[in-house]
Each structure stands twice: as C-alpha cells, then as structure tokens.
Structure 1
Amino acid sequence: MSENETLARPPVSQPTTHVDVLIVGAGISGIGGAWHLQQQCPGKTFAILEAQDSFGGTWLTHKYPGIRSDSDLYTFGYRFKPWTGAPIATAEEIRRYMGEVIAEAGLDQHIRYNHRIASAAWSSEHQMWTVTATRGDTGEAVRFTANFLWMCQGYYRHEKGYTPEWPGMEKFQGQLIHPQEWPEELDYSGKRVIVIGSGATAATVVPAMAAKAAHVTMLQRTPTYFRTGRNAIAIADELRSLDIDETWIHEITRRTILRDQAVFTRRTFEEPEVVRQELLANVQTYVGKDYPVDPHFTPGYRPWRQRLAFIPDGDLFQEVAKGRASVVTDEIEGFTEGGIQLKSGQHLEADIIVTATGFNLNVLGDIAFEIDGQPLDFGSTVTYRGMMFTGVPNMAWVFGYFRASWTLRADLVGDFVCRLLRHMDAIGARQVTPALRPEDEGLPLLPWIDPENFNPGYLMRGMHLLPKRIDKPEWQHTQDYWAEKDEFPAIDLTDAAFRYR
C-alpha cells in the first residue's frame, strides 16, 4: 500500500465515539503520551487505539531469545516513573514497568486493543479527524472522531520484518526466521544456527542462543560498533546502599547518564579516531589479544554514524571467546539446501537461519490519510521539529532519538502537545496547522536526515516516504536531545509557523 493511497472505508455498525485527543499506539510513546495528557490537561477526553492485543509495542511484537533494550532504562524509562532494576532490561521487565504506569494512572480504561486503523480524514469544515478502524477480534469497523490526533505508533511495520531476497532461498531445507516473526515453540537445542546481521538484534540473539545451540555463527557483510560494560550503574547502586529515595536515585542517575552520553557523542564527532580505538580495544579485552578484531568488529565508518548498541557484560564477545559463537564477515552468494554459500567460497552449514536484517519503515502507521478529501503524501510535507507537518492540522508525531533513548523525546513531545492544547484553549482556537513562514519559503528541501550524519538501512530504504526538512532547527528533527530539552519548552506558540483557526 502506498502512503497516499485512499482506502475504501468499511461500513460501520457501532456509534461513532468522539474524544478530544486520539492517541495511536499503546507502546512506550503512547502510554507516556496518555500519562502526560491526563496530568497536564486533566479536562481532555482521550482514547488509545492499539492494533495488537496488549500494550508494549516493540516489547510485545518481538519474542526472540534474549530480547532486551539497547538503551539504559534510566533514560529509556519515563522521567516520571523511577526505574529500579538493571539498566539494560528484558522485554518482560519493560512491559512490567509499563503495566505499572497503566495501572497507577488508570489508563487501561482508555485503551482499545485489537483496533487497526485503516483511514484518517481531516475535515476543515468540522475541524476534526474521523478515524476508521477494524476490530481484529470481531472484524467489525468502528469509527472515532477527534479534535487532535497524536501518532505514537513507532516507525516500523510490526507485521513483517525486512529480509533481502538472496538467490536460492527457496532451496534451504531448514527453518528461515526473521526475529519479528519468532515461532514461540522453536527448539534450537543442538542445532547449527546462522544469524545474518550485525546490529543490536543479532548481538542479542547470538549470545542468547549460544548456550543451547550446537553453534551460532553471526554472518555479517559489515561490522558494527558496540559499547560494553557492566549491566549496572555505579552511582545508582551507591545511592541505594545509602537508602536514598528511588525518585532521587532515578533523577540523579538519569542526569549522570545523559551527561556522559553527551560527552561521548561530542567526542565521536570531535575525535572519532580516538573513540574508535577505545571501542575496539574494549572488544579486544573480551575476545583475547589474538582474535582478529579487524575485520570482524572494525566498521569502516566513524562511531555513531549508525546506532551504537550496548552489550551488557560483553556477553556476545564472551560467547565468541568460549567458541560457542563465531563471526564471519563476508557476502552471501546464495542459499543452498544445507546453509549459505559465501562469495569467498566458504560454505556455512545451518539447521536454522535467522535474518536479523532490520525493519520495514512504517510512516505513520500505513494509514490512508486525507485532508479535506485529498490524499496526503507525507513525503511532500516539511516537518516542524520532527513532530508536526506543514499542511497537516491538529496532529503530532513521536519519533525518538537515534543517539539517545527514544523515550526522552516522547517526554519532550508530550510536554509540547499538552502546552499546545492548553494554548489553543486559551485563545479559542480549534485548529492549528504548521506552515512555512515567508522567510522559509524557497529554501532548499532536504531529506529527513543527512545520510552523512546517520544512515541505517531502514532509513535509507524509506527516506522518500518521510517528510522533508529545511536547514533550520525548527524545520528538522535535529537528533540533539541536549539542545532540544531546552528548546522545546521555549517554543513560541505565537510564532508564524503555527496558523490557528
């Protein structure tokens, strides 16, 4: 389905439900957004539509072995809810944490599970959105109207991950699995496993499977940078030993981590070769001085040009050192009945092949959007700070950070949306639409993000679907939390970039 394709709306059998704010998605962003809305705009009615049968988003979709965060939970967790466990957490622990937020705030009464949105249409005449969804448990169509639409559905297609088409894939006689579609009862005991990929998912799956599998091979075309360390935060442990209140521990630890991350990120730009050598030396300490870190863990790009995942306690490298896992850096020539033939001439035998090869970018939920009867192509809009779009009224989008935790931005967007809604009430406006100011007209339109700055495969494949940017802070997603944390609260809501009705 193309992003601007209009879907025929199914007949609706239930009465239309109206809310002030409709939140799309009950993942980390949607639950956080609902909490902020309830706290900061207590008079607003709202509902959360979730396509899956429970909350959690990515932490519900993925069920592969060892699934965990690759960001620490002091910053990936909400600023308003202290995190008390190990900084790198499992999916189960993250969902338990989110469940506590839902229960404590009474958000469960607002969530509508198994509601997959087909279309969203804005009417300037009525100044509201009409959203049609299908209930997966009954198949019936339901309709909602809302004054404001808050898109918190994430950035990738949950139904199907990205797997390249390699020659001969149909020949393989074993099991071929993408981590997004992991079979719940898969038994890999004593099996030979190949995991294709070098990102955070592959780095999680390999050590998790290595203890039971006969052997696990991480097959990569190019390597990735990783950071390693204890799955603990020293300052948090020290404060707990002093019986400090968890709210204080959360905030102090969070600020410490953010300061350290800011320093590290700055260094990757100012002294990339020094940082590169530090990262590689850390890997070498785990795998041993004779292991060929080059080529297997030596990328050809500067650190942080792609996501840099944290490996708790170096578990991936420990399994390589033990010999239960290995890394092969090569290109795939094709699949065979018994494994994978590489371009170097080597053949890898496998009973199971896992394609940890990334996501399919999902721009705003693959929903057919219309503005006053005209299909909306988000690729032709310009983003306002990565959360609103020119020509699109009464809608905000949460797209997190690449170099910091996603939820940091979800919290910032939550504050902004609530402040915007209160401002609209104060001036009697029912509609707000971002628009280029006269001084912005005619400036070059650029891709959503500069590929020289950050260039993971899923973004490069789907860049044409994303809104454009202009080389000004207000017309791009800067990816700079350390600037935006001060800029967002200072956004002038009377600026000409906001047009009210």
Structure 2
Amino acid sequence: MIGQSRPNDDDPVDLDMVIIGAGLSGIGAACHMTMDRPERTYVILEARADLGGTWDLFRYPGIRSDSDMFTFGYSFRPWAGHRTIADGSDILDYLRDTAAEYGVAERIRYGHKVIGASWDSSTARWDVTAIRAADGAVVYFRCRWLSACAGYYDHDNGHRPSFEGENTFDGTMVTPQFWPTDLDWSGKKVVVIGSGATAITLVPNLARDAEHVTMLQRTPTYIVSVPAVDPFSERITALLSPQLGRKILFWKYVVGNVVSYELSKKFPAISRWLIRRDTVKRLGPDYPVDVDFAPPYDPWDQRVCVVPDGDLFDCIESGKADIVTDSVGCFEATGVRTESGRLIEADIVVSATGLTMLPIGGIELTVDGEKVDLPDTVVFKGMMLSGVPNFNLVMGYTNNSWTLKADLVSARIAAMLDHLSDRDVDYVVPIKPSVSIGSAFVDLKSGYVQRAVEAFPRQGDRTPWRLHQNYLRDLKMFRSELDEETELLFGKRITSISSPLASVPAPSTPRKGHSHA
C-alpha cells in the first residue's frame, strides 16, 4: 500500500481519510480535518497538476463566481474583499492562500487520478486505487474514511454537439472548457452558442476587443444584475471590526438568497415579473425582452444567472453585442446559419453548449466485493449514501453558494470521525430507507443535468433523505446529535467471510440507536 500525507512519501500507511479532489470542497474538507484534530492523517488525491478544481481548469476570458463571495468563501476564513462577484484568478489565489495557511498544500498528491475504491468490512477500511500520472503506475491508499470532493462535472469532457456543416467553416471553433491560450479575438466577429452562465460571462468580456459578439441561444435564461462591489460591505467593515462586518455580510446574503429562492418557487409569476421589469429598465422599452429574456420555465427550474453591474446589458445597449434567439441550422464557410435562415457572420465560434456531469468523478465503488450502483442508493442529508459505510460526497447547493453546503458536510464528517473514536466503533452506514424514492438529488431541469441525471443517487420524499436546497433548514438538521440519528447504523468490524452489512435490514420504522457490534 502506498500513501502518506506528504506528496513524496511512499511509505505504507493506514490513513484516517482520503480526500478525492483538491478543489473548493476538497481543500475545505482538509481544513476541517486540520482544525478538528490536527493529529489526524489524510491525503488529498488530485488528478490535475494544480489545486483549484474548476477554478484551475477553466481559463476562458472573464471566468468568475456565479454566487456572492460573502457566502462563497469558507466560514472559517471569510472572503476579505468587497467584490460581490469575484474573478476566477482571485478565487484561485484565495484557495491557494487557504491551503497554505492551514497546512493543506503539503498534503496534496498531484497527478493521482482515483479510479476505484473498495470497502472491506473485515478491516473496516477503504482501499483506494489511483493512477499516478508521472509514471503511469497504479498506486494504492488505505483509509478509514473516504471523502469524494470531485463535484459533479466531467473535467475531461464537455458537452459538444456536432453541427451540420461545421467542417466547412473557415474560421476557428473553440470550447470554453479547453480555451486556447493563444486565441486572439481582437477586431473579429465572434458567435457564442449558448445561453448559460459561461456564455453570459464570455459575451461582455469578448466584446471589449472583438468587432462584434453575437450570443446565439436556443432558449433564453433568467438574468439579473447585481452590484460588482457591495457598498454596504465597505461601510459595515469600516464601521465595525472586519470580523464582525464579515459575519453580518454572511448572514445578509444567506438570508437574502434563501428568501429570494423560496419566494421565487412559491410565487414564480411575481419573480418573473420582477426580473422582466429590471431587464426592461436596463435595455429600454423598445428592446424585444419577451423574445430574448423570457424563458419557457419558471425561475430556479434552472439556475438564475447573475451579471455584475449589468455588464451583459451594457454591451448589448452599446451595440458591441447582440442576442439572437434561434437554433443552429448549419455552418457555412463564413459563419452560422440559423434555422430561420439568418446568416451570422463569424471569424470565431465558441460552443458554450454546456458541461457533462459525472457523479463522484466516475469512481467505481465496491462494498465487500459488490459494486455500488449509484442510482440504487439514497442520499442521507445530501452527504452519505445508503449502504455505503464511512463514505461521504460533497454536493453544494444549486440555488446558493456551493461552499455553504460543503462547509456543513465537512464539519459534520469531522464530528462523525470523533464519534467513531469516542464510541470505539469502526464504521457508520446509512440504512436504506423505506420511503418513496424521488428524483435524483441534483434537481435542476437544465439540459446538462437531464442528460446525466439517471446516473446519480436518488433522494427520498422526506427529511433526512430529501434535499430542501435551504441552508437555514440544513443548518438545524446538521446540528442533531449523532446518537439520535436513527437512520445510521454504527458498528465494529467483524472478521468473517460474509459482510456484516449484508444482513442489515431496511426497517420500516428505524429504531433509535442502531448498532451492530
């Protein structure tokens, strides 16, 4: 077995935790481990050559957060700036500084792609298999707990549909996920295909130097403008101590985001009207808002996109960019012809057509030799899988900052490790509930979600198996005593041929204080 907390130490070791992924979630999980019990051993396995995950992978112009930074920053190390929406480079610097400050950076093993993990009940340990990029060797790590912090995007493959006639196009075609570092769009005509957060970010940033940018969208998206710099942030941190000011800002945005989302879901017509009113105010009464900015679905059925200081609206109003709501018909030598017959001339076409989803990084899990079929599992509190011991995944909110949920999960897992040690037990596993099984726990109706949703774990119809996408509600749920978690089975390892988990029933009414010893 190879593994250790330091990147260049190949001594065999039995670790407390293996963390998969050195992005926002993985670094946060490691920090919680360090803060809770510094003596714990862990390693972060990162397939790429640097930390940052999404913020290291994507290098397209203008990449930025799509959530406010006051809740996007870690709870234990609040964001220190005043910008509501931050550039990707600033977020990457923040992650690097956090990793260095908490001693996490030295625990990361880069170029280690995890391909599988196997739980053995006789040892109560995970055996994790990875491929080391430096020499192609297969290496192994053994741990007490496995934390999958790989998000739900496929970093190696984006969603790139084929377009009729694209081989006849004389210009350059690119995708945001693999942006060429030497691409020059100065003085050129650019077409961005897509209407999601990536396209909406690209258009104003490309428009600064391009001759003209057209966003060609099949379906509009809800777009709202937010201040790039929160004036309240500057005032409150000047008036009070920075620490107290950051705490006030955190709760301002937490409560504001939760209330906005809940009202949007309860009163979608009012939400649509408010968004439309703001768009008309930005673009003027003569703009065809109901053509380009009126989605055929309710707000938060898909993510609502934000633009800092209305930059997208500004570049449209200036004439540097426009939106065409139509479908791609075919490519021609000089550009893209829409299904309605309009030719949009282009030197560069950006296919911002979405991402590909991949649950837990595509890792194959087995429990006592049996492969874990993710759609057959049910998610417990959005962090553990039924029937899978000593394992958690981290999935942030779809309607709020990813970090809010990541922080809750990582803190809870650190407490759970304490609980195992204090109670002298070896494992904890959620018992598959006898509840109505609902949709996959990524519940957006976006195209990239619907294309892959069947491969994901499911959620139930009631707490704690149902995801409410509500931080305030989750905050209360995560504070429950572990001894009161009747849905969890705690036990000691049993050295026998059969798994001690195989005979665990799924009780119709969970009994308080399940144990298996």
- Normalising by structure 2, we get a TM-score of 0.90
Question: Residue in 1 aligned with 2:351?
Answer: 355
Question: Which residue in the other structure is 2:485 paired with?
Answer: 495
Residues 14, 80 of structure 1: CA spacing in aligned structure 2 closer, same or farther, 3 A cutoff? Answer: closer
Counterparts of 2:481 and 2:332, CA distance in 1:
57
Identify the residue that residue 126 of structure 1 maps to in structure 2: 123
CA–CA distance in 2 between the matches of 1:335 and 1:187? 21
Query: What secondary structure is seen at the aligned counterpart in 2 of 1:447?
Result: strand
Report how far residue 493 of structure 1 moved. 4.0
Matches within 5 A, 1:448-467: 448-449=440-441, 454-467=444-457
Task: Give the Cα–Cα distance (whole angstroms) in 2 for the partners of residues 450 and 61 of structure 1.
Answer: 22
| 1:164 counterpart = 2:154 | no
Q: Which residue number corresponds to residue 382 of structure 2?
A: 386
Q: Which residue of 2 aligns with 1:248?
A: 244
Deviation of residue 16 (structure 1)? 4.0
Pair 1:446-2:476 in alignment: no
**Native 8 Å contact 1:65 1:208 kept in 2:** yes
Q: Give the conservation status (yes or no) of the 8 Å contact 1:149–1:394.
A: yes
Please state how far the C-alpha of 1:482 moved relative to its aligned partner.
2.0
* Residues 292 and 470 (structure 1), Cα distance of their counterparts in 2 relative to 1, 3 Å cut: same
Q: Which residue of 1 aligns with 2:67?
A: 71
Q: Which residue of 304, 311, 316 maps to 1:320?
A: 316
What is the rounded CA distance, in whole Å, between the counterparts of 1:295 and 1:445 in structure 2? 38
Deviations 1:100-133 (A, max 9, x none): 1111111111111111112211111221111111
Distance in 1 between residues matched to 2:12 and 2:38, nearest whole Å: 23
Residue in structure 2 matched with residue 477 of structure 1 by the alignment: 467
* Residue deviations 1:354-406 (CA, integer Å, cap 9, x gap): 11111110111111222222222111111112211111111000000011100
Mapped to 2, the partners of 1:181 and 1:336 lie a distance apart of 23
SS of residue in 2 equivalent to 1:49: strand
Structure-2 change in CA distance of 1:111 and 1:184 (3 Å)? same
Is 1:225 the counterpart of 2:222? The answer is: yes
Would the aligned equivalents of 1:17 and 1:143 in 2 still touch at CA under 8 Å? no
Please name the residue that 2:507 is paired with.
none
CA distance in structure 2 between the partners assigned to 1:137 and 1:317 by the alignment: 46
Shift of the 417–365 alpha-carbon distance from structure 1 to 2, 3 Å rule, reads: same
Q: Could you tell me how far 1:15 is from its partner in structure 2?
A: 5.1
Q: CA deviation at 1:272?
A: 1.8
Which amino acid letter does the alignment assign opposite residue 24 of structure 1? Answer: I
Structure-2 change in CA distance of 1:432 and 1:279 (3 Å): same
| Partner secondary structure for residue 439 of structure 2 | coil
Equivalent in the alignment of 1:270: 266
Q: How many Å separate the matches in 1 of 2:260 and 2:178?
A: 35
Distance 2:181 2:163 in 1: 26
Distance 1:212 1:272 in 2: 38
Residue 3 of structure 1 corresponds to: none
Q: Is the Cα contact below 8 Å between 2:237 and 2:246 reproduced in 1?
A: no
The Cα of 1:273 is off from its aligned counterpart by 1.7
Which amino acid in structure 2 is aligned with residue 470 of structure 1?
G
The match for 2:187 among 190, 199, 216 is: 190
Deviations, residues 262-308 of structure 1 (Å, cap 9, x unaligned): 22112212322222121112122222221111110111211111111
Residue deviations 1:48-73, cap 9 Å, x none?
Answer: 11111111110000000000001011
What CA deviation, in whole Å up to 9, does each residue of 1:173-193 have, x standing for no partner? 322211111011111111111
Q: Which residue of 2 aligns with 1:417?
A: 413
Contact 1:47 1:110 in 2 (8 A): yes
Aligned residues of 2:84 and 2:227 also touching (Cα < 8 A): no
Q: Is the 8 A contact 2:386 2:429 kept in 1?
A: yes
My pick for the range that moved more, 488-497 or 113-122, is 488-497
Contact residue 125 and residue 144 of structure 2 kept, 8 A: yes
Amino acid of the residue matched to residue 462 of structure 1?
A
Please, which of 324, 329, 333 is the counterpart of residue 329 of structure 2?
333
Q: Out of 134, 156, 169, which is 1:137 matched to?
A: 134
Q: State the SS of the aligned residue for 1:147.
A: strand
What amino acid sits opposite 2:363 in the alignment? I
- Of the structure 1 ranges 68-77 and 427-436, higher mean CA displacement relative to structure 2 is found in 427-436
1:386 is aligned with what amino acid?
A: G
Choose from 339, 342, 349 the match for 1:346.
Answer: 342
Residues 333 and 493 from structure 1, CA distance in 2 versus in 1: closer, same or farther, beyond 3 angstroms? farther
| TM-score, structure 1 as length reference | 0.93
Deviates more, 1:322-331 or 1:276-285: 276-285
SS at the partner of 2:407?
A: helix
Distance, in Å, in 2 between the alignment partners of 1:269 and 1:111 is 41
Secondary structure of the 2:489 match is: strand
Asked whether the 8 Å contact 1:16–1:143 carries over to 2, the reply is no
* Deviation (angstroms), 1:352: 1.1
What letter is aligned with 2:284? G
- Does the CA-based 8 Å contact 2:380-2:430 persist in structure 1? yes
Match of 1:9 in 2: none
**CA distances 1:321-360 after superposition (whole Å, capped 9, x unpaired):** 0010000000112222322221111111211111111111
Structure 1 pair 16–339 and aligned structure 2 pair: CA distance change class (3 A): farther
Contact 1:82-1:246 within 8 A present in 2 as well: no
Q: Which residue of 2 aligns with 1:151?
A: 148
Matched letter for residue 476 of structure 1: R
Secondary structure, aligned partner of 1:36: helix
Equivalent residue number for residue 430 of structure 2: 434
Which amino acid letter does the alignment assign opposite residue 341 of structure 2?
A: G
Supply the AA of the counterpart residue of 2:302.
Answer: Q
Q: Which of 88, 97, 106 is 2:94 aligned to? A: 97
The separation in 1 between residues aligned to 2:197 and 2:391, in whole angstroms, is: 32
Cα deviations across residues 236-278 of structure 1 (Å, max 9, x unaligned)? 1112332x32221211101011121122112212322222121
Cα pair 1:338 1:349 within 8 Å, conserved: yes
Query: Is 2:326 the counterpart of 1:293?
Result: no
CA distance in 1, matches of 2:12, 2:452: 34
267-276 vs 83-92, which moves further: 267-276
| Identity between Structure 1 and Structure 2 (%) | 38
Cα 1:493–1:61 shift into 2, 3 Å: farther
**Aligned with 1:311: secondary structure?**
strand
Deviates more, 1:354-363 or 1:336-345: 336-345
Q: 1:399 to 1:493 in 2, by over 3 A?
A: farther
Aligned twin of 1:303: 299
Would the aligned equivalents of 2:258 and 2:470 in 1 still touch at CA under 8 Å? no
RMSD: 1.6
After the TM superposition, which of the residue ranges 379-388 and 269-278 deviates more from structure 2? 269-278
